[in-house]
Amino acid sequence: RKSTLPSRMQPPRRVLFVHGLGSGSNGHKVHELRAQGIEVIACDMDVSLWDVRRANSIVRRVLDTPSKLFSYWPWKWLASAIDDSFQGCLNVQRTALLSQQKAVDVLIGSSWGGAVAAALLVEGSWSGPTILLCPALRAKDRWFGSESKSLSADAVTARLAGIPATVKARCLLVHGDQDQDSSVPLSDSEALAESTYISLEVIPTEDTL
C-alpha cells in the first residue's frame, strides 16, 4: 500500500539511526539528518561482509566459530554466520535503546539496518515511530539464506504483520523509485507492505536511496 506521510507528523527531534551493511555511524544519511538540525544517535554495529577486523563481519563470524565448519554443511556456513552477525547487530541496537537517558522520537533503519529495525519492532524492544528505508529483510535471506527460525525473512514478516495496529500505524516503509536494480529492489518493499499492511512511500530519486 502506498501513502503519503501524515501531515500531522512533526519533524523528529531525536533519531536512532541504524546503518546499512556497508556503512557506519558517520554515513551520509546520518550527516544529512544532522544537517536538518536533528539529533542523531548512530551506533556503529561493527558489521561488514568481508572485513574480518569488524566484530560482526559475516566472514569473521565463520572464522570465530570453527565448530560451525564441522557442524554444518559448507553451503550453510554463511547462512549461520549471517544469523550470528545479525544477532550481534541487534544486541548493539538493544543496548543503544536501553542506554538512552533522553527519549528517542523515531527509529530509522536503512537497508541491513532496516532489517535490524524490523526485528527490534517484532521482538518488542521498540514500539515507537519507525521508518524502514529499503529494508534488506528479504535480501538478507536471498543472499545467504537463514538457519534461524526467528530471524528469517518469513518469520520477521509474519510477526510484523501481527504487531498491534497502533504500532503499525506509526511505521512507514520508504523506497526510492530508482532502486529497481539495487540489492534491495522495490518489489521487496512492495511485498512487505502487502504482507504487513505497513504503508509504503515510494519517493522519486536520481540515484539509489
Higher pLDDT, 59 or 204: 204
pLDDT tens digits along 185-199 = 999 999 999 999 999
Who contacts 125 (Cβ-Cβ below 8 Å, separation ≥6)? 93, 94, 97
156 by DSSP, 3-state: which? helix
pLDDT for residue 1: 39
pLDDT of residue 7: 46
The pLDDT of residue 193:
97
Residue 181 clears pLDDT 80, i.e. is over it: no
Mean pLDDT of the chain: 84
Q: Cβ distance 115 to 140 under 8 Å? A: yes
Best CA proximity match to 82, nearest among 49, 45, 129: 49
